[in-house]
Structure 1
């Protein structure tokens, strides 16, 4: 691969998804394994949208880590900065699937895991600083080593930086710890993406619009508020654009936000105006939510191009 256009840092996992939906974990006997986590899903989504993408993360020295590496390289992701931790195992995630809106997760990644042990020795800071877009998420700030590496990348980066709020309560001692970490990172972000619950967690403000204003006051010029079945809201300068949702039957909503982010990022790279990019992202998110997998359900560019003109 030639030089990447985008670098995605952060969380990886082997997602262990049930073969049966609407069934509690205690009754499940059969599962399918997929690549998951913020970085795994977003990298796959970008690669399928024909974006040259590199990942910065870590996996364990085990079969799950090999599975993740093989899948990502097979999708065309540059895994040169996907390092191996020889002490910790690759994290796994189990879930239950209760459409349309309940998808409880069981994470096996505490007290720490390979991607939380990421350091600046694991990647080329100067090379990352020069890519067109750097994508990071809140989860990468949840442990000291990873937080230092993420902040170093944010501080060095010379172009567009997108920060996904990506709040997972079980990764933090409390919302205040998450809030403190996010407040340190956001002055270095150009665009913030998150849902209403994540905005509340990041600000402590109950009203989403006031929370958006509080986050933007820290520096980011653009905030994209994901609203699930209600679409998205784009806050850009003094403008607020409500972008209509795309209606599809929801099967598993867990990967929708990552598909959304990949599509927005593709739009920015290709000079698509931001409102249109968000409209395309709404379709991509709905498409993934209509299926069981996350990474393996990410749409290809031809799918998005064909579908978006039909959105009213």
Structure 2
């Protein structure tokens, strides 16, 4: 079986409060959800009808079993998800404080290591990774061995393709300082991967880790110089910019009332993947991805909140934005 998308890296159980607007010490009840950025992206793309799989590892415990069942529920193939004896499945707590626009994360079970950082190069299905139309990984997967070597091996297995070849290798610049000894270490690891990357996606801080500080255009240009074909720089309240060697596109944000800002970037990623697979123009991909991210920002959870294509199209139409030609809108 050939996949539309294979993601690789972090997975966890997200523990989100049912009490919104209070700090964790005052929360009385929680709900649990599938989490971890690459896993969420696989779920987000599956919600748009794409064939997805995730390469990751869990603990051999009830939470690991829960994550397998959640992936199956969302239609994500879990054949490349295995357990690690002696390690516990990580849990991630967050507080939801929408009035302050703060959504702090607290990682448990990831230090000194986590099961998803025990992915080994010799265990990869290199043929499946090579043949997938899109392969997606994050910078976090490079922070520790053996995961770092496995990620490099996966990227080296990918064919070097251009924008018209129908295959894309995406690097989510997703830099989280608590997982790294220094910015220099992270930048050195990213520099090994970038020559194998078709699409790089990140905000200002993440792009600065990868290629240095500068304006969004300067950062995008440096990513292109490093070999990337599409540089996507998130601009915060100003939206998002995508740049190729021949095109520069900016998409304004789709305003919503934010409930939980976590997961919006993963929804953006899954929708961006779907647009690439559909062959849409870059402007339409960005608008679609922006709307998908906005929908999740207006909801409580991440994986469970990922929108369908119909929901994204409806929001675009409601806001008078460009609606791509999809089965929902044709």
TM-score band (shorter)? over 0.9
- The aligned residue for residue 205 of structure 2 is 197
- The aligned residue for residue 24 of structure 2 is 25
- The aligned residue for residue 77 of structure 1 is 76
* 1:46, distance to aligned residue in structure 2 (A): 0.9
Q: Deviations over 1:54-95 (max 9, x none)?
A: 110001111111111101111111100011111211111111
- The aligned residue for residue 262 of structure 1 is 270
Secondary structure at the counterpart of residue 15 of structure 2: strand
RMSD: 1.4
Structure 1 stretch displaced more, 59-68 or 24-33 = 24-33
**Structure 2 length-normalised TM:** 0.91
Task: Name the count of aligned residue pairs.
Answer: 311
* 1:120, distance to aligned residue in structure 2 (A): 2.3
Counterparts of residues 33-182 of structure 1 (less than 5 Å):
33-99=32-98, 101-108=101-108, 109-158=110-159, 159-182=167-190
Structure 1 stretch displaced more, 138-147 or 94-103 = 94-103
- The aligned residue for residue 272 of structure 1 is 280
Contact 1:81–1:122 (CA under 8 A) maintained in structure 2: no
Q: What is the distance in 2 between the residues matched to 1:27 and 1:220?
A: 45
Q: Deviations over 1:256-277 (max 9, x none)?
A: 0000010010011111112101
* 1:171, distance to aligned residue in structure 2 (A): 0.6
Secondary structure at the counterpart of residue 216 of structure 1: helix
Structure 2 residue ranges without an equivalent (≥5): 160-166, 322-330
* 1:279, distance to aligned residue in structure 2 (A): 0.4
* 1:283, distance to aligned residue in structure 2 (A): 0.2
Aligned pair 1:230/2:229, yes or no? no
Q: What is the distance in 2 between the residues matched to 1:124 and 1:241?
A: 36
* 1:113, distance to aligned residue in structure 2 (A): 0.5
Contact 1:15–1:93 (CA under 8 A) maintained in structure 2: yes
Aligned pair 1:11/2:10, yes or no? yes
Secondary structure at the counterpart of residue 47 of structure 1: helix
Q: What is the distance in 2 between the residues matched to 1:110 and 1:216?
A: 34
Contact 2:124–2:150 (CA under 8 A) maintained in structure 1: no
Q: What is the distance in 2 between the residues matched to 1:187 and 1:81?
A: 25
- The aligned residue for residue 223 of structure 2 is 215
**Structure 1 length-normalised TM:** 0.96
Q: Deviations over 1:242-297 (max 9, x none)?
A: 11110100111110000001001001111111210110000000000001101100
Secondary structure at the counterpart of residue 80 of structure 1: coil
Contact 1:83–1:122 (CA under 8 A) maintained in structure 2: no
Q: What is the distance in 1 between the residues matched to 2:66 and 2:236?
A: 30
Structure 1 residue ranges without an equivalent (≥5): none
* 1:213, distance to aligned residue in structure 2 (A): 2.1
* 1:206, distance to aligned residue in structure 2 (A): 4.1
Q: What is the distance in 2 between the residues matched to 1:52 and 1:238?
A: 30
Secondary structure at the counterpart of residue 205 of structure 2: helix
Q: What is the distance in 2 between the residues matched to 1:194 and 1:106?
A: 21
Q: What is the distance in 1 between the residues matched to 2:122 and 2:86?
A: 17
